[in-house]
Chains A and B, each alone.
Chain A
Amino acid sequence: NAGVMQNPRHLVRRRGQEARLRCSPMKGHSHVYWYRQLPEEGLKFMVYLQKENIIDESGMPKERFSAEFPKEGPSILRIQQVVRGDSAAYFCASSPGQITGGIRETQYFGPGTRLLVL
Chain B
Amino acid sequence: RKEVEQDPGPFNVPEGATVAFNCTYSNSASQSFFWYRQDCRKEPKLLMSVYSSGNEDGRFTAQLNRASQYISLLIRDSKLSDSATYLCVFDFRSNDYKLSFGAGTTVTVRA
Could you list which residues of chain A lie within 8 angstroms of chain B, going by C-beta atoms? 31, 33, 35, 40-45, 48, 55-56, 59, 89, 91, 95, 99, 102-104, 106-112, 114
Contact = CB atoms under 8 A, between A and B. Distances in A.
Given A43-B44, A56-B98, 20 more contacts: A33-B99, A35-B99, A35-B101, A40-B103, A42-B101, A43-B87, A43-B99, A43-B101, A44-B101, A48-B97, A91-B43, A95-B97, A99-B94, A103-B94, A104-B32, A104-B95, A104-B96, A104-B97, A107-B99, A110-B43
Nearest to B85: A42
A22 B42 CA distance: 17
Contacts, number: 59
B97 A42 contact: no
B95 A91 contact: no
B4 interface: yes
A109 to B, nearest CB: 4
A95 B99 CA distance: 12
A90 to B, nearest CB: 11
B103 A42 contact: yes
Nearest to A42: B101
B104 A42 contact: yes
A112 to B, nearest CB: 5
Nearest first, the 9 closest Cβ-Cβ pairs linking A and B are A42-B101, A109-B43, A43-B101, A42-B103, A102-B94, A45-B98, A111-B43, A109-B44, A42-B102
Given A40-B103, A104-B32, A56 B44 contact: no
A45 B43 CA distance: 14
Contacts of A31: 97
B46 interface: yes
Contact of B97 (A33, A91, A108, A114): A33
Nearest to B6: A42
Contacts of A48: 97-98
A45 B46 contact: no
